[in-house]
Amino acid sequence: MKISCAQLAIYIMKILYFNHRSNTLSNNFTRNLRTMKEIQLKDIDWNSLWKKAKSKKSWKSKGVEDWDRKAESFSKRNARSDYNEKFITLLQPEKSWTLLDIGSGPGTLAIPLAEHVSHVTALDFSPNMLAILKQRANKRGQKNISTHNLSWEDDWKEKGIRVHDVAIASRSLAVKDLRPALEKLNSFARKGVFITDRVGHGPFDQAAFKAVGRELKTGPDYIYTFNLLYQMGIRAKVDFIHLGNQSTYSSLDDAVENNTWMFQNLTADEKKRLKKYIQSITTTANDGTVTVTRKHIPIWAFISWQPEAK
């Protein structure tokens, strides 16, 4: 095969460029490897990494008005979950405990835990959530639950909240700054702190987001929290709560309604796509009830530690 001088020149230039490029990449790799070797665990700021990951979430955190509006549906939806029983099993509550429940919501855990401990103090920044909690407690005749309309940012001590035996934050670490929140939890517990945080996407259905046409970015999961605790000198323990991938509803519309919580401001077209997706993973029983079977199983990390074990 004959080639011209021009073709030969181009071929030689490509070889020279490839060699130059390879040397540059090799030098960069060596330099980066050397830098990585010099980085120590103590140099990693897990709180800053958590904040950075949080800023990339697909949605904004809900405010008081949002939670007030969703309080009723949130209460009904969580009543169906086996999360509560699994959380309490891992917690192993004692009758003598005083328990502080931060982000209690409508009493998802406060109500059942009141049967197992001496007293429950429930904190939530949503008045409607606390109103539902009070109604539920009154129906059960529970007198050992007190409620306080407080947020993570409020001064709990100033508002009369005392140190309890145990502090829990169940799926409620939606804070602006994680480290101060963990320090606060630690300072309000004598015997133990128990929190749950997402593993990966947690309860969010990746396939549902894909069907609707939205990108799913859930932000930082439990590994940031666990590593930050380690960096704070806290030797925490991690267990995992695996939930089922099936849920039963009274109708298809009920199933769709109970899956809209994952999205903010769905358009009419997005609602149609969500309904089509839910219908595709649904089976209908003879009594008309429908069972939704998700591909991904929701997992929560159950993180616990003793405040004095630092």
- Looking up tokens 């009904």 gives 76
Q: Give the per-residue pLDDT at 158.
A: 96
Taking alpha carbons only, the member of 1, 142, 128 closest to residue 68 is 128
Residue 117 has pLDDT above 90, yes or no: yes
Instruction: List pLDDT tens digits, range 69-112.
Output: 665 665 566 666 789 999 999 999 999 999 999 999 999 999 99
CA-nearest of 166, 178, 165, 169 to 52 is 178
Do residues 278 and 157 make contact, with C-beta atoms less than 8 angstroms apart?
no
- Decide: 76 and 138 in contact? Cβ < 8 Å: no
Give me the pLDDT at residue 295, please. Answer: 87
**Nearby residues of 253 by Cβ (< 8 Å), 6 or more positions away:** none
CA atoms within 13 A on the CB side of 120: 30
pLDDT in tens, 244-268: 888 888 899 999 988 888 888 899 9
Q: Where in the chain is the domain with CATH 3.40.50.150?
A: 57-208+215-245+297-305
pLDDT (tens digit, 9 = 90+) per residue, 15-48? 545 555 555 555 665 666 565 556 676 779 999 9
Q: Could you tell me the pLDDT band of residue 188, with boundaries at 50, 70 and 90?
A: very high
Superfamily covering domain 57-208+215-245+297-305: Vaccinia Virus protein VP39 (3.40.50.150)
The answer to whether the beta carbons of residues 310 and 230 sit under 8 Å apart is no
- pLDDT confidence of 310, banded at 50, 70, 90? very low
* Buried/exposed 96-124: b ≥16 CB within 10 Å, e otherwise: ebbbbbbbbbbbbbbbbbbeebeebbbbb
Q: What count of Cα atoms within 13 Å lies in the side-chain half-sphere of residue 282? A: 22
- What's the pTM value of the predicted model, to 2 decimals? 0.81
Beta-carbon-side half-sphere exposure of residue 163 (alpha carbons within 13 Å): 9
Q: What is the pLDDT of residue 31?
A: 63
Q: How far apart are CA 113 and CA 108, in angstroms?
A: 9
Going by C-alpha positions, the residue among 283, 280, 247, 278 that lies closest to residue 260 is 278
CA–CA gap between residue 260 and residue 21 (Å, rounded): 50
